Amino acid sequence: MKIEKLKEEIFSLKSLLVLTGAGVSQESGIPTFRGEEGLWKNYNPQELATPYAFEKNPKLVWEWYNFRREIILKAKPNPAHFGIKKLEDIIPEFLLVTQNVDDLHKEAGSKKILELHGNIFRTRCTKCNRKEFKKEILREIPPKCKDCGGLLRPDVVWFGESIDEEIFSKILDFSLKCEAILVVGTSAVVYPAASIPFIVKNNGGKVFEINLEPTQISEIADISIFGKAGEIFQKLT
């Protein structure tokens, strides 16, 4: 019933912003950060995903990223990723903003996408800024730059780091002009991503949400559907 209503709303839109988080990849077998005891060697991901942790122990941080690369390399996009790609094909003005670093949206074919928190398969040299994208597990860690010998880091945004300004300004432009936002599988507690649905709402846009459970977005949502994103997208698209 609610899904039918959402379907009707979404398919009549001329512009849509989709914001996704770790929940969209959960059914692909990639653990989310919150809501699950994703313990790894007794470390908390939030303590590993920081510039401080990398400075202190780059090898340990790389071990963790290699471990995550391994899980992600085995994963395939699920019906939520494919459903979002379908919306891109149908809705004239479309933008997908993902907080995920797992590359699964691109694997599902998404083209109009901005990766707010980077990509786990891209490295960045801490000395010369050289970037390289390779879908593999790194053999030697911590890896070194081919050009300058500098230490390579994952090209992702860590806690305490800021979002690429150019990317955020593109998102802001779209948020101000779109008719609606669909928020899928994000706890919406990481800023500035969490502020995007509020910007859309304040500009008269509609807010739709798909999540396992209520979040702070639910309070401003026109329609919230609680359940697994992949299962819901199978009915929606």
C-alpha to C-alpha distance for 87 and 11, rounded to whole angstroms:
8
Answer yes or no: 117 catalytic. yes
Closest CA to 4 of 182, 178, 223: 223
Residue 127: contacted member of Zn ion, ligand NAD, none (CB under 5 to 8 Å, by partner type): Zn ion
Establish if 145 lies at the interface with Zn ion (CB under 5 A): yes
Q: Where does this chain bind ligand NAD (CB under 6 A)?
A: 21-23, 25-27, 30, 32-35, 99-102, 117, 185-187, 190, 210-213, 215, 228-229
Residue 183: count other Cβ atoms within 10 Å of its Cβ. Answer: 29
Q: Which pair of structure tokens corresponds to residue 27? A: 């059914």
Q: Which two tokens stand for residue 39?
A: 């313990």
Catalytic residue (one of 69, 81, 105, 117): 117
Minimum distance from residue 124 beta carbon to Zn ion (Å): 9
- Give residues 93-112 in contact with Zn ion (rule: CB under 5 A): none
224 binds, among ligand NAD, Zn ion, none (CB under 5 to 8 A by kind): none
Asked if 236 contacts 82 with a C-beta cutoff of 8 angstroms, the reply is no
Residue-wise over 65-74: b if at least 16 C-beta within 10 A, else e? bbebbeebee
Q: Report the interface residues with Zn ion, using CB under 5 A.
A: 125, 127-128, 130, 145, 147-148, 150
Give the active site residues.
117
